[in-house]
Amino acid sequence: MNLEAGFIGLGAMGLPMAQNLVAAGVKLKVFNRTAAKAQPLVEKGAARAASPAQAAAPGGIVLTMLSDDGAVESMVGGEDGLAARLAPGGIHLSMSTIAPSTARRLAQYHRERGSLYVASPVFGRPDNAAARQLVICTSGPAAAKHRARALQEIIGRAIYDYGEEVGAANVVKLAGNFLIAAAMEAMAEAFAIAERNGIERRTLADMLGNTLFACPIYQRYGEMVAAKRHTPAGFKLSLGLKDVELVIKTAGEARVPSPAAALLRDRMVAGLAHGRADMDWSALALGVLDDAGMDR
């Protein structure tokens, strides 16, 4: 394979994604603020970059997988940023969950400096990333998406294209995460009702996950919520709160009421107040037990 790329952000999701690229023969240059996190990739043939700009090459492609809007923006601007370094015609493939409005702002910033921005957020947890089973949503300039496709295919099992409006993929990603969080809240309430009536939570989760709600979210998160097991974290509660707040922000900008999202936000804020920030975001379910005075 003759592909070359840069990769920025080697956290729980970024590291296995980058490992898959290296394993597939991509000549990869990696940057992470905590430089030691790049060592496993360097040992497998990746090159270490000393700055975001050094991870990029004029006309090349750089993938970012970062925690939030501010982290992505900090990698794009300034002398050590991606946008100017990628020009002319290079591509920033942004795989983080950020606000659609942030994606549009970043795309404009890239255009002004002669580079291109493609939104490419993913659905999946770290084990899905390691197994190349991520679902990728993408939007942005058609020619840039075409160039980035080979890299996306290494990382994920399915790619859904939402057109050239760059914020569209981020809208889809937030909509999906909202539905996941809402499902966890519904399961937590249902399982609490069952438990109070003497029904084993896990037997209810097993039946529903294999009949009425036979899908990965109800099966996987259903087991976690039913078992009251929220560590280790595949996706931290603090990041779940960030995403729900982005849902509320995006809904407000579109003049769409979002009362269920507001409930989820309050549930997560309460979870952080109880010291659960580093637990899996499924720990929002513990708030139902708190309210009912039930054992956790």
Question: Which positions are catalytic?
Answer: 173
Of 93, 138, 146, 137, nearest to 115 by C-alpha is 93
Q: Residue 78: left (phi > 0), alpha (psi -120 to 50), or beta?
A: left
Spatial distance between the Cα atoms of 220 and 26, rounded to a whole number of angstroms? 32
Residue 181 to residues 34, 122, 197, 265, Cα–Cα distance (Å)? 30, 16, 25, 10
Spatial distance between the Cα atoms of 38 and 48, rounded to a whole number of angstroms? 7
Residue position matching structure tokens 């107040």:
273
Spatial distance between the Cα atoms of 49 and 189, rounded to a whole number of angstroms? 48
Spatial distance between the Cα atoms of 119 and 171, rounded to a whole number of angstroms? 10
Length of the chain as a residue count: 296
Q: Determine how many CB atoms are found less than 10 A away from the CB of residue 119.
A: 31
Asked if 92 and 104 count as a contact pair (C-beta separation under 8 A), the reply is no
Helices 100-112 & 168-196, crossing angle to 10 degrees?
160
Token readout for 79 is 């002398």
C-alpha dihedral (160, 163, 165, 168), degrees to nearest 10: -30
Residue 11 to residues 15, 19, 66, 165, 222, Cα–Cα distance (Å)? 6, 12, 8, 28, 26
